Amino acid sequence: MLDEPTAGLDADTEAGLLSNLRDLGVTALVVSHRPAVLAAADRVIEDRGGPGASRQQRPGAQRGRRPSPPAGDDCGPRPPAPPPPQPGGCPRSRPGELPCALASPDGSLRTLIRSVPGAWGRLALALALAFAATGASVALMAVSAWLLSRAAEHPPVLYLQVAAIGVRFFGISRGVFRYLERLVGHDIALRLQSALRLETYTRLARTTLLGRRRGDLLSRVIADVEAIQDLVVRVWIPFASSALVLVATSSALAFFSPAAAAVLLVTSILAGLVVPWLASRASARSDAAALPLRGQLSDSVHEIARAAADLTAYGADTSALSRFAGIDERLRLASARSAWVRGIANSGQVLAAGTAVVAGLVIGGHQVQDGSLAPVMLAVLALTPLALHEALASLTQSAQTHTRARAALARVREVLDADPVGSGDRVDDARPVAAPELVLSELAVGWPGGPAVVAGLNLVVRPGDKVALVGPSGVGKTTVAATVLGLIPARAGRIDVAGRVGYLAQDAHLFTTSIAENVKIGNRDATDAQVRDALARAGLTLDPSRVVGEAGDTLSGGEARRVALARLLVGAYQVWILDEPTEHLDGPTAAALIDDIWATTTDQPVLVITHDPQLIARCDRSVVLTAASGGPGRPLS
């Protein structure tokens, strides 16, 4: 079962494909609008569409076999995937951009923070609030312990008033400070995340993304960029505030029991610094591996979702799902190892907390016995370490989060440091020009990493000109269009364009949203009336609010082409480049579409890339690219 198998092929390649298909001796059901395919078929069934519509059968005429040249696609040889970028190579920043925000592990983050107005002040405020919240928790336990011990002595109630007020104050302020710390901390984290994501988008906008795995790239741009939020909220602020509280608590207890304070300081350093560091080292490989595995999982999901029909048709769905399950299993094992290490580390922290409590009881008991410590302070020495170590319990997970965040930001840094493939887009002046024009002078083009596929191209397309760019499949016609659009750099020669360039791609993508939103890609500020007018000029009577499926699956091929055409019509484009505009369309629909385009572009230069002989005949002139033996194609006429 073949759906438009010869779309985008020249006549010779098409004839060779059909002849080879017949030589295979298979039974074929072919869906096509191409006259050559219909002529080569044994029978033609014409479906006029709709329930109960007429279906006509007629015999097809077989053609003799024609020589089959090597087939390829119009983009010419594709480049290999770009090599992994070197972390040290930071591209130059343009005015108004972050100067390579993650170029190095330390200075990069300081640069990112400096790029956000008021970031240092907000970070300091968040740290102060976190210190106040944690300090209030420890102070609540200490004051409560003193209050219970003093109350057991049955003093006058007025003696307990200050402590009771302190318990209320620290109990309430703990929640208030923690709430405010979450607000300020997440505010600065989200600001940094936005700045980093904008920088990532800016870098990606300067490249064509050739050779990239789209699922992994999506994971880097979305999930990995969010690691900056984890770094601020779950690493920097908890570690810094806990360290300050640790010093403050140990210093306060030193006034009553220097020995107990020393034990508390040592156990706190073990529980808050040494154990988390050991845990992060033990799970570093698993934590670092989890990020690439999530990227691979995203790639696998993307491939399965996009190619589900083909995988099922060819019986490859089981192997694809097995690969997906294998990646998921490796990710599960990495997460399980991290969780196991975290559990062991938590047990070490519990032992450290128990040691501090027992030491406080033993040391404090001896001090009470010799009279150097008030009896009510024994409970303070025993219970305060519990509150402090409770605040340190989350630092093991923070240390592991730090490993994952650094690995994630390193993946983002690879995106920022990667050499761009092309410029991503042509920068055009939005203002219209009086005489739009496209001039190519001795142009040589080729995909990055591959040889030049076209050389010596000279072409002038003036207002109102309709010029066809034709030639064998794979000679480089679409590569010329990509070069004119600025997607890839020219190998040699010069490109002069007057006026905004609009491009109708042969595989224009339709997003899973309304038809109106798809049309507005051509002009984001278009009104509803302008969208309806563009659809009408494109020959569509569809409801603009209708939602199309993934990649426009709920639209026919002709409707999808006309929605893509409406993008050009709704924008103020003065130079048009059309790549196979009549593919997937029947004869009458194709003729009507070209009529609409010609009527709309009476004063615009139009360059048409096509193999359709009827469309070529309707152009003012044609430029034929011929494949040179062992070298780039050159214009014939």
Higher per-residue pLDDT: 302 or 182: 182
pLDDT tens for residues 215-243? 677 777 787 888 888 889 999 999 999 99
Per-residue pLDDT, averaged over 317-334, amounts to: 91
Mean pLDDT of 104-125: 78
Rounded average pLDDT over 98-121: 66
When mean pLDDT is compared over 2-6, 488-492, 501-505, 604-608, the highest value belongs to 604-608
Name, in order, each residue with C-beta under 8 angstroms of 195's C-beta and a sequence gap of 6 or more: 98, 101, 112, 115, 116
Judged against a pLDDT cut of 60, whether residue 60 lies above it is answered with no
Place 209 in a pLDDT band, splitting at 50, 70 and 90.
low
- Terminal alpha carbon distance of the chain: 38
Is pLDDT above 90 for 413?
no
Does 382 or 415 have the greater pLDDT score? 382
Q: What is the mean pLDDT of residues 434-460?
A: 86
> Looking at 156-160, 321-325, 337-341, 448-452, which range is the least confident one?
448-452
Average pLDDT over residues 331-342: 89
Report the 10 Å Cβ neighbour count for 172.
12
Average pLDDT estimate for 10-30: 84
Q: How far apart are CA 380 and CA 386, in angstroms?
A: 10
Q: What is the DSSP string of 333-399?
A: HHHHHHHHHHHHHHHHHHHHHHHHHHHHHHHHHHHHHHTSS-TTHHHHHHHHHHHHHHHHTTHHHHH
3-state secondary structure of 307: coil
When pLDDT is averaged across residues 625-631 and rounded to a whole number, the result is: 57
Residue 56, pLDDT score: 57
- DSSP annotation of 80 reads P
pLDDT(335) > 60: yes
What share of the chain in percent tops pLDDT 70?
86
Task: Name the more confident of 305 and 67.
Answer: 305
Per-residue pLDDT at 215: 64
On the question of pLDDT at 351 being above 90, the answer is: yes
Distance, in Å, from the CA atom of 577 to the CA atom of 580, rounded to the nearest integer, reads: 10
List the alpha helices (DSSP H) in 25-118. Answer: 35-40, 107-115
pLDDT (mean) for 42-59: 66
**At 468, is the pLDDT very low, low, confident or very high (cuts 50, 70, 90)?**
very high
The pair of three-digit structure tokens given for residue 284, joined into one six-digit string:
């570093």
CA separation for the pair 20, 2 (Å, rounded):
14
pLDDT in tens, 70-83: 333 444 444 444 44
Please say if the pLDDT value at position 343 is more than 80: yes
Give the pLDDT band of residue 629 (cuts 50, 70, 90): very low
Q: Is 174 or 10 the better-scoring residue by pLDDT?
A: 174
Query: What is the residue-averaged pLDDT of the chain?
Result: 82
Please, are residues 412 and 219 in contact by the beta-carbon 8 Å criterion?
no
Least confident of 50-64, 105-119, 446-460: 50-64
Q: What is the pLDDT of residues 586-625, one digit of tens each?
A: 778 788 888 888 888 888 899 999 888 888 999 999 888 8
CB distance 87 to 414 below 8 Å = yes
For 174, other C-beta atoms within 10 Å of its C-beta total: 19
Q: Is the pLDDT of residue 211 over 60?
A: no
The residue that leads in pLDDT, 631 or 371, is: 371
Residue 448's pLDDT is what?
Answer: 74
Helical axes 237-254 vs 377-392, angle rounded to 10° = 170
Sheet of 575-579: strands edge to edge?
501-504, 575-579, 606-609, 466-470, 621-626, 634-635
Among the ranges given (33-42, 202-211, 338-347, 617-626), the one the predictor scored with the smallest mean pLDDT:
202-211
Q: How much is the pLDDT for 537?
A: 81
Confidence of residue 631 (pLDDT cuts 50, 70, 90): very low
Distance CA 296, CA 215 (A): 7
Q: Give me the domains of the chain, ranges plus CATH numbers.
A: 2-59 (3.40.50.300), 107-417 (1.20.1560.10), 437-635 (3.40.50.300)
pLDDT of 253 strictly over 70: yes
User: Residue 106 above 60 pLDDT?
Assistant: no
